[in-house]
Amino acid sequence: MTTDRARPNLAVLCGIGLAAFLALVLLASLTISAVATLGGSPTRLAAQPAVPAVATQPVGTWHFALTVHSQEPPQHVSATCVFEANHHLRCLTLPGSPPLEVNGVWNQLNPGSFAFWATHHAQLDAQGNPTGSIYAEHLAVITPTTFSTHGFAFIDMHDGRPWSGPIPIEAVASRISD
């Protein structure tokens, strides 16, 4: 009496193995790419001496210069921003820039970088209700005295239409005080 047992197909097993290998290669490539995007390489990051986290946290007051690539020429906005130890941030634009009050949150990614989300109302109606808001996300590379960012902004006009964006943005900042 013979029993019919299912035998694995060698071609199927080789295909599964190849797919798993390719998935691992892709995962490794994405990891290396992400590390390089944050300004390092896997070997350089591992070999660097430890930097005190406090020295590269954004907590303090900063002069912030933003470039918004929504038109040609790009728009430039200057502000004073305060990054608080509780991970909140607030900014007020300086004279010569549109009068805006910005609020947001930030989070340290590693000792050399952080991310933040900021929002402000672009316009208010006669009762003070927002008729449009701008939301922005930034990825920042920081030193003890400066940081630079790149990211995207999105505009919601609060009228049911789809948001505008992503709009490329970038900024540089210099520390005013801790």
The pLDDT tens digits for 84-143 are 999 999 999 999 988 889 999 999 999 899 999 999 987 777 887 778 899 999 999 999
Q: 28-47 pLDDT, tens per residue?
A: 333 333 334 444 444 344 44
CB 115 within 8 A of CB 109: yes
* Whether the model pTM is above 0.85: no
Residue 51 belongs to some domain of the structure: no
SS3 125: coil
Shared domain for 71 and 99, answered yes or no, is: yes
Long-range CB contact pairs, 84-88, < 8 A, 24+: 84/59, 85/59
Shared domain for 112 and 31, answered yes or no, is: no
Shared domain for 142 and 114, answered yes or no, is: yes
Range of the domain at 86: 57-177
Higher pLDDT, 146 or 131: 146
Residue 152 belongs to some domain of the structure: yes
For residue 12, what is the enclosing H or E element?
A: helix 10-37
Total of domains in the chain: 2
**pLDDT confidence bin for 177, thresholds 50/70/90:** very high
